[in-house]
Amino acid sequence: MQINRTASAHWTGGLKDGKGLISTQSGALKDYPYGFASRFEGVPGTNPEELIGAAHAGCFTMALSLILGEAGFTAEHMETSAKVTLESVEGGFAITAIHLSLSGRIPGADEATFTEFANKAKAGCPISKALAAVPITLDVKLA
């Protein structure tokens, strides 16, 4: 089985004065603005790092749901945030870390079991695998 998803970016202008638009195949993002200011200066708009974070949080949480289900658990709710760190390094900028923060309510599961399954999901989700060059950390809280 092979699944292909697409996204696109359009850019006009230089790095600092330019403007970009990002779109996804699903339409979840359609000509959504991004640029230097939204990436480096906190101006409204998106940026590649927050999109990676959203993808990683979503993938990880789905993978954890699968692992829980295989063990006979069903999440009442789970919340995952992903903090993607972009830093200036020798030769330019790089993503140097990703930190996942998970909280959830899983009837019948204890903290140790939830943490074990979360670590398994962190290692096994496709986005974690794609980002394997970046250190990925995780904290887990059972509600």
Domain ranges of the chain: 7-41, 48-142
Residue tagged 């060059």 (tokens): 133
User: Given this model, what pLDDT does residue 62 score?
Assistant: 98
In angstroms, rounded to a whole number, what is the distance separating the alpha carbons of residues 114 and 51? 26
List per-block mean pLDDT (blocks of 10 residues) for the chain, which spans 143 residues. 95 96 96 94 93 97 98 98 96 96 97 97 98 97 93
User: Given this model, what pLDDT does residue 116 score?
Assistant: 98
- Give the Å distances, CA to CA, from 82 to 28, 67, 97, 119, 139: 19, 20, 10, 14, 11
In CATH, which of 3.90.25.10, 3.40.50.2000, 3.30.300.20, 3.40.50.300 is domain 48-142?
A: 3.30.300.20
How far does CA 123 lie from the centroid of its chain?
14
> Can you give the length of the chain in residues?
143
